[in-house]
Structure formats: structure tokens, C-alpha cells
Amino acid sequence: MREIEREIECEIECEISCDVAVIGAGTAGIAAHRAALGEGARSLLIEQGPGGTTCARVGCMPSKLLISAAEAAHGARGAETFGISVGGVQVDGPRVLGRVRALRDDFVASVFDGLADLPAESRLTGRAVFEGPQTLRVGDHTRLRFKAAVLASGSSPSLPTPLRALGARALTTDTLFEIADLPDSLAVLGAGPVGLELAQSMARLGVRVSLFDPGDSAGGLRDPDLTRAARAIFSEAFDLHLGAEVEGAEPDGEGVRLTWSGGGAGRFARVLAAAGRSPNLAGIGLEQTGARLDARGSPAFDPHSLHCEGSALFIAGDANADRPILHEASRQGRISGRNAARLAAGGPLERPRRWVALAMVFSQPQIAVVSGGFDPEAGHRIGRADFGRQGRARVMDRAQGGLRLYAAPGGRLVGAEMIGPEVEHLAHLVAHAVQDGLDVATFRDRPFYHPTLEEALDTALSDLAGQRG
């Protein structure tokens, strides 16, 4: 690869150029940069910081570390079910959080180690702001001219308006893992995947937890049967307030007093905002790029090529808020990087088929939704299985929840929803079957070993096979 035109180490303004500018060194940005380099383009990776990817630093990895600690505590308390006496279970909050941070830092360091093998001259540090359709200003030191750019600027946690005056009493997923000890009590706002995972983990670690969400379901479930099951299951673990919106928040001593719809009120040591993340798009000059922007300032883009209409810009990962999940961000990065290099070279863009949507919640029981899940308007046939009566689930003392498979009238599988033990594995099998276009008969003609949790798929497929239409 040819070097970027000259080394960027000057105190006065520099002007440089490249084929592809990649903004953001997270999962999508790193993948885009590598893909553009692989196409032979002169690519420059720009990072404002702190780097290390959202997943490793504040997302999936530290949350799974907390979940694992919570499962260890819960398993020890429940060992009596199997005739095993553990004795008193003590949770050492500082040690739990210390381990989370230590291993989290290892994961972040591994990301930085992976960046170290990239050419030093292909990386630049500073905030990138568009000055024109093919011009960026980086910090106060560099003007960069590019032929194509990939916007992979990531996202930041959203803080609901009532919480903005609480200061450090209001936690986000960016700050939760930095606290020194577990709080005595915690209000969690948002019953999506992150909120549900963290609420259950904190409750299992001995924190008094209340979870609030204005919607009527948890974990992204939409199937009426499974939504009811989830409500019953998680209500046993913590106070679950579905259909409730937090309307007010104010400091109360060292804690927080919240009020919510329906006249509810309560005091908590801390409150956690877990109602989603917003793309980092404000103040970066997108209006200068020629891209068509919606009312929120987000560019319209082709979900296959990731090209933003009317511009030399591509958008990938959390920045496009389409499927903010690591495996999707990585693939989007590769696609956008290749396409940016092709646009820079004057070649055609690729428009690969999208993967089947796959979403998971690593609660216990787990939740998974494949290809959008339940659609009340689609007229799909529904195959059912109940983990409450399944042999392997009962052996594990985890006989909760159920599975729903959805098929088109002709028999082709189109999606699934499930809540149950270890359904992350079942969801992958269904996602592969849906993406491969399998019908019920073909998928059912596969080995399902006994006794396994996967037999729930065979049960639901048998249910579908017995239906007419």
C-alpha cells in the first residue's frame, strides 16, 4: 500500500488526501478500514477516542461478565434443588466489579493489539467534521480530501429527560461498570435486551431492582403467549413495571426519588438508563456531504450497499441504527469498506443479500427472536413447544418458557421467537434454516438428539407439520 501523502505530525494545518476515509475505529470502522485496504485503496482510519469498540468496552463483554457472576450466585443459591448444600452465599460487590473491569480491560487491550498491525501512517486521531462532499477537517490540525468515506462513528447511551439533572446518580451502560460497589437498590429504565440483562443480573447479585418500560413486553418479544410467560418469569426476580413511564426524578439524600405513571413513586440508590443508544451523528457536518437527511439528521442509505443517497458516503454499524449488533456491524463494515474502495476507483457497488435478523437476550431464561419474530398481520402458521414440559429442561431445573416457529402458508419457515434455557443455540439453527429457505418438512428431516433442548425444535416442527394449509 502506498503511504498516505505525508506523515501527520505538524502543529500547523496539514492538507492530505486518500481514497477512503473511515470515521470511527470500532467494530464497523476497523472492518471497513481493513476491507478498503484489502481492495488496494489508500484508506485512512480516523478515531476520536476512546476506542476499543463499544462491545468490548461498555457493551456485550462487560455485561456478560456481570451476567456470569450473577449466574454463579444464583446457581449456588439454587443448588439445594439437586440435594447439594452450599451454605450461605455472600456476594462481594467490589470483587465482582473488579473482575468485570479487569477482564473488560483485557478485551479492550486485545482490540488495540489488533489495531497495532495496521500501518501507522493509515491512522489518524481527532474529531472528524465534514467541510464538503469530499472534505473532512480532523481536529484543529488536518484537512483531509477523500474520494469516498465510511461513517462508523458508533453510538452513545440515551439519557431520558427526567434523569438529566441527577449527575452521577444516573448511570448509563458507559458508566455502570465503573462504580466501586453494587448499589443497595437500582431502578432500570428500559426492558429491552440490555435493560433486562442488567436488571436480572443486579437482582441475582442482591440488589433490590425495579425495571420500568412504557411498553407491554420485555426483551423484544411480541408473541402474546411468550410475552405473558416473560412477564410472569421476570416478575418473580424483581419488580417489573411494564406499561409504566418514569415521569420525574430528583435527588433524595445520596439517592434518587422517582415518580412514574399511574401515581407510582419510590426511592433508589441509583437509576440506570438502559433505553437504547443514539447514533453519534450530531455536529459532524453531515449537511455538507450532499446526503439526504431525515428529520433527525440521519442519512438515507441503501441497506444492502450501505451507500448514502446523493453522496460519496457509506454508513455502517451503530451509526446507521439499523441493526446495532456486533456481527451485523462487522459485516456492514466489510461491505461498506469494499464499496467505498470501489466507488473511489470508479467501479460498481456490491449489494449482497442481507442476513436474517437475529437478536438475543442473555437473561435466564434466554430470549431470542429470528427474522422479526411474530407478525400478527402476516397470517403465518405457528408451531409450538413448551419448555415447561420438556425432559432436558426439567433435568436442568430450568423448565420455563416456550418456543414458537412461524411458517408461511406453503410451509417455508419465516421466523421464530423463544424464551427458554440456552435458546441462543436453537436460534442459530432456526436463523440458518430461514436464511437457507428451508420448509418445515426439510428442516424436520434433520437429527434431533435425545435428550437435548434442541428437541423443542422437533416438537414445534411436528406441530407445524400436523397443520393444514
Kindly give the pairing relationship between strand 313-315 and strand 142-151.
Answer: parallel
| pLDDT at residue number 140 | 87
Give domain limits for the chain: 14-55+104-157+278-344, 161-275, 358-465
Instruction: Return the HEC string of 427-444.
Output: HHHHHHHHHCCCEHHHHH
| pLDDT at residue number 6 | 45
> CB neighbours of 256 closer than 8 A, spacing ≥ 6?
166, 169, 170, 187, 249, 250, 267, 268, 269, 270, 271
Instruction: Return phi, psi of residue 273, to 5°.
Output: -85, 110
For residues 202 and 182, give the distance between their C-alpha atoms in angstroms, rounded to a whole number. 8
The strands making up 366-370's β-sheet, listed across from edge to edge, are 358-361, 366-370, 413-420, 402-407, 381-386
| Block mean pLDDT (10 aa), the chain, length 469 | 44 82 95 96 91 77 95 96 92 97 90 80 92 95 96 94 94 95 98 96 98 96 97 96 96 96 96 94 96 94 97 97 93 98 97 97 98 95 97 97 97 98 98 98 96 97 88
The residue type found at 168 is A
Beta bridge partners of 138: 128, 142
For residues 315 and 292, give the distance between their C-alpha atoms in angstroms, rounded to a whole number. 13
Q: What is the pTM of this model?
A: 0.93
Single out the residue of 205, 254, 207, 209 nearest to residue 95, CA to CA.
205
| pLDDT at residue number 469 | 56
User: Strand, coil or helix: what is 16?
Assistant: strand
Q: Give the Å distances, CA to CA, from 143 to 11, 20, 130, 230, 352.
A: 13, 14, 10, 53, 33
- Asked whether the CA dihedral 288, 290, 292, 298 is positive or negative, the reply is negative
| pLDDT at residue number 59 | 79
On whether the CB atoms of residues 157 and 147 are closer than 8 A, the answer is: no
List the grid coordinates of 126: 481527532
The CATH superfamily label for domain 14-55+104-157+278-344 reads FAD/NAD(P)-binding domain (3.50.50.60)
For residues 77 and 90, give the distance between their C-alpha atoms in angstroms, rounded to a whole number. 10
User: Strand, coil or helix: what is 205?
Assistant: coil
User: Strand, coil or helix: what is 169?
Assistant: helix
Single out the residue of 456, 446, 466, 462 nearest to residue 417, CA to CA.
456
Q: For residue range 45-56, list pLDDT tens digits in order.
A: 999 877 777 787
Domain 161-275: CATH architecture, name and number where available: 3-Layer(bba) Sandwich (3.50)
Please measure the distance between the N-terminal and C-terminal CA atoms of the chain and give it in whole angstroms. 58
On whether the CB atoms of residues 204 and 74 are closer than 8 A, the answer is: yes
On whether the CB atoms of residues 9 and 34 are closer than 8 A, the answer is: no
| pLDDT at residue number 116 | 77
Neighbours of 243 (CB within 10 A): 12
- Same topology for domains 161-275 and 358-465, yes or no? no
Q: Give the Å distances, CA to CA, from 380 to 112, 118, 408, 415.
A: 46, 49, 5, 10
On whether the CB atoms of residues 382 and 429 are closer than 8 A, the answer is: no
CATH number of 358-465: 3.30.390.30
> CB neighbours of 255 closer than 8 A, spacing ≥ 6?
169, 185, 267, 268, 269, 270
For residues 137 and 8, give the distance between their C-alpha atoms in angstroms, rounded to a whole number. 13
On whether the CB atoms of residues 192 and 272 are closer than 8 A, the answer is: no
Residue 50: cis peptide before it, omega within 30 degrees of 0: yes
